[in-house]
């Protein structure tokens, strides 16, 4: 372990020859714990097979102690504060804690056992206390402030951005508060950390708690083979007979789309849309507590609302801009969204639907209508979207755009048998990253899809450490008789998350906190959402999309149908997405503590976007992980914001060619490699030549034509 300690000390002392660092009093370290020992693995990847659940808590305790010792050394340095002896060591400190945290929290989301969730509860107060002690340390802040006010000469643009971010991080985390208010800040942040963790656990448990076991073959006879196969596999895994419907996306979504059994679909839809709304895993009180604590914290820091606090560090900059942006999009598309609903409703009634078209009917009839109008359905597409073929296509796209090569590795350990590891190289043979791919759902994995990293890129003393990037999805699993065939939505999801992965893998910065996806939340979705555009490009699909059984290339007619239908229900989908952003902003624009009814508040906040009929006893807030468990509070609008960016950005690819090297190199240089080194609007304008406009998205959706 001595070697690791010396490495940490060297990291702290970078560039400090003119004002030496005091000796760091390091705590005793148990090197038998694999999380604390040196990783003699390819690219220093985590040795997952050596890590036991019992290793995590002691590893956190040691890593926090090491980080505290490093902070004490910086705060108590008798030398005059400089960028090199204060800001850089602050950026470098906590490497051991970052490493332990990355392994634990990534696995908690992707393969979290009940024991790990219990550990998360136990360690959260310790982590929060450490983070508060750091940001509220008066001696440390005094040094940071001194450098911020007199930074000295010779700082690069990247250095200046790190200095600005470091200073503002202290201020935004309470460093300027009175001693009394600092204690309140500690209290609020500790409670928020605990509540957010509990919220996510309740949402996961509520999702896993529901299932319907079907033993009557007649009730599944109409379903496509891939749906029945998946339900049969779920039943078998649970020790049940027949077919089992769950609320996991690969089960719930296809059943709602293809089944004509309205009572069962209504039951499943209501269960999905009332997860954690009452019952054993109720999150409604936690929602109230979270929004009220966020409001208290914002007020304490001098902001009228939590949204004002959040948006200070976003491209949009303020509440007024966000609300105006969403309203402009809503005004431009709402009429068309109602037209979309009416078209599906009229079609459903023409096929004999009795009564009002309800939310649990919409997927079935919209899929049928798409099939009739465009002669296109998922069953036609899925044979050409076999997972291995899609993966090949996505890798090929990265090669054509950025010259990347992906080599599967059996030497790099993975955390679950489903996970695949790849070494990623550029066209010159330079190692860029490790990429982990985790495709399939399991009860220990939370829902959705995300990109994350076990390590970001950074440079110390001229030595570069490249990132370890992971993509986690919940795609349709292969069965005994059928490989994993993706829906078109899953294909787009793959491209989306791969865009995030490219952002993480292609970073070229000195500092971790400014690298890869460490950018403003309303900018981070640009690299991901722009990738979805290639899903409907014939020139791309022609290169790899073949029938998994016959090897036949995807027919030209089918590609034409994909292109013709790509704006199908575009207005409805846009308004639906805006409804999520608007309810998020409503929750976080509160100026008084909320003690009302969660379901009622949500319904009122989404009223202007309501297209489908309202269903009593449902609400998304209690399971809305993005804003109550994740990092999208007062930021869910960013998906639509990024759609405007990507629509404008991709228009340049369309103009010059979807594989154009000049455009792709500019996108890599100005967007993917720069991370958060400059303001995102500056980076965007550097790439595109002008600021983005909402009309780019409206035109892309084909509305008004």
Rounded to whole angstroms, the Cα distance separating 692 from 651 reads: 11
3-class secondary-structure state, position 498 = helix
**H/E run at residue 61:** helix 53-75
Per the structure block, which two tokens stand in for 67?
């980080």
**pLDDT value at residue 705:** 58
Average pLDDT over residues 44-54: 98
Average pLDDT over residues 209-214: 96
Residue 541's contacts (CB-CB under 8 Å, 6 or more residues apart) are 393, 554, 559, 562
**pLDDT value at residue 378:** 81
Tell me: pLDDT of 566 over 90. Answer: no
Instruction: Identify the structural domains of the chain with CATH numbers, from first to last.
Output: 2-176 (1.10.1370.40), 211-272 (no CATH), 383-570+639-700 (1.10.1370.40)
Tell me: pLDDT of 226 over 90. Answer: no
pLDDT digits (tens, 9 = 90+) for 374-402: 988 888 899 999 999 999 999 999 999 99
Residue 7 — pLDDT band, cuts 50, 70, 90?
A: very low
Tell me: pLDDT of 1 over 50. Answer: no
Per the structure block, which two tokens stand in for 442?
């399991």
Tell me: pLDDT of 83 over 80. Answer: yes
Tell me: pLDDT of 14 over 70. Answer: no
Residue 462 — pLDDT band, cuts 50, 70, 90?
A: very high
Rounded to whole angstroms, the Cα distance separating 106 from 97 reads: 14
Which residues are the active-site residues? Answer: 497
CA atoms within a 13 Å half-sphere pointing along the CA-CB vector of 421: 20
For residues 571 and 390, the answer to whether their CB atoms sit within 8 Å is: no
Tell me: pLDDT of 21 over 60. Answer: no
Average pLDDT over residues 593-601: 98
Place of tokens 């340390």: 137
Q: Which residue has the higher pLDDT, 4 or 134?
A: 134
pLDDT digits (tens, 9 = 90+) for 154-178: 999 999 999 999 999 999 999 999 9
Express as a percent the part of the chain with pLDDT over 90.
88
Tell me: pLDDT of 613 over 70. Answer: yes
């Amino acid at each position: 372990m001595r070697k690791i300690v010396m490495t940490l000390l060297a990291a702290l002392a970078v560039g400090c020859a003119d004002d030496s660092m005091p000796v760091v009093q390091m705590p005793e370290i148990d090197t038998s714990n694999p999380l604390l020992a040196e990783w003699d693995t390819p690219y220093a990847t985590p040795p997952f097979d050596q890590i036991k659940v019992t290793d995590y808590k002691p590893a956190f305790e040691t890593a926090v102690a090491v980080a505290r010792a490093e902070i004490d050394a910086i705060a108590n340095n008798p030398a005059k504060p400089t960028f090199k002896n204060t800001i850089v060591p602050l950026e470098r400190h906590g490497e051991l804690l970052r490493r332990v945290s990355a392994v634990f929290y990534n696995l908690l989301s992707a393969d979290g056992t009940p024991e790990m969730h219990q550990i998360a509860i136990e360690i959260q107060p310790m982590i929060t206390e450490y983070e508060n002690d750091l940001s509220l340390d008066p001696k440390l802040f005094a040094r940071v402030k001194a450098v911020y006010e007199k930074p000295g000469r010779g700082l690069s643009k990247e250095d200046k951005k790190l200095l600005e971010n470091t200073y503002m991080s202290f201020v935004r985390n309470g460093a300027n508060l009175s001693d009394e208010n600092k204690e309140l800040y500690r209290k609020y942040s500790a409670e928020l950390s605990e509540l957010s963790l509990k919220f996510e656990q309740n949402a996961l448990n509520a999702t896993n708690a529901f299932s319907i076991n079907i033993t009557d073959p007649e009730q599944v006879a109409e379903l496509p083979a891939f749906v029945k196969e998946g339900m049969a596999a779920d039943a078998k895994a649970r020790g049940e007979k027949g077919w089992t419907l769950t609320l996991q996306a690969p089960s719930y979504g296809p059943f709602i789309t293809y089944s004509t059994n309205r009572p069962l679909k209504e039951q499943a839809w209501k269960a999905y849309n009332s997860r954690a709304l009452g019952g054993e895993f109720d999150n409604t009180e936690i929602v109230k507590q979270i929004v009220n604590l966020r409001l208290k914290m914002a007020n304490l820091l001098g902001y009228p609302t939590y949204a004002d606090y959040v948006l200070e560090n976003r491209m949009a900059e303020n509440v007024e801009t966000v609300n105006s942006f969403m309203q402009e999009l809503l005004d431009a598309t709402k009429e068309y969204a109602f037209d979309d609903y009416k078209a599906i409703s009229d079609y459903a009634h023409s096929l004999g639907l009795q009564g009002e078209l309800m939310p649990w009917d919409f997927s079935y009839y919209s899929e049928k209508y798409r099939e009739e109008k465009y002669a296109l359905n998922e069953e036609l597409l899925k044979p050409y979207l076999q997972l291995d073929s899609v993966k090949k296509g996505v890798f090929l796209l990265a090669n054509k755009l950025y010259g990347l090569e992906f080599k599967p590795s059996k030497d790099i350990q993975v955390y679950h048998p489903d996970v695949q590891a790849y070494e990623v190289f550029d066209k010159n043979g330079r190692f860029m990253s490790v990429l982990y791919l985790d495709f399939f759902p399991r009860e220990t994995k939370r829902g959705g899809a995300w990109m994350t990293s076990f390590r970001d890129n950074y440079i110390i003393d001229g030595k570069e450490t490249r990132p370890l990037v992971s993509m986690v999805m919940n795609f349709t699993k292969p069965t005994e008789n059928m490989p994993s065939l993706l829906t078109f939505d899953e294909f787009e999801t793959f491209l989306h998350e791969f865009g995030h992965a490219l952002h993480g893998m292609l970073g070229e910065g000195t500092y971790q906190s400014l690298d890869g996806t460490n950018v403003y939340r309303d900018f981070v979705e640009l690299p991901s959402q722009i990738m979805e555009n290639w899903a409907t490009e014939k020139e791309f699909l022609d290169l790899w999309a073949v029938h998994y059984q016959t090897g036949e290339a995807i027919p030209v007619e089918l590609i034409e149908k994909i292109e013709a239908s790509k704006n199908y229900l575009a207005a409805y989908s846009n308004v639906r997405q805006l409804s999520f952003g608007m309810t998020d902003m409503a929750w976080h624009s509160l100026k008084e503590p909320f003690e009302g009814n969660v379901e009622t508040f949500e319904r009122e906040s989404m009223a202007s976007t309501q297209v489908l009929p309202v269903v009593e006893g449902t609400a998304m807030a209690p399971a809305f992980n993005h804003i109550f468990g994740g990092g999208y509070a007062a930021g869910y609008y960013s998906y639509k914001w990024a759609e405007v960016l990507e629509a404008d950005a991709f228009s340049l690819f369309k103009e010059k060619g979807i594989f154009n090297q000049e455009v792709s190199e500019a996108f890599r240089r100005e967007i993917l490699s720069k991370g958060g080194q400059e303001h995102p609007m500056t980076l965007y304008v550097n790439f595109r030549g002008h600021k983005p406009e909402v009309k780019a998205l409206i035109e892309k959706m084909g509305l008004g034509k």
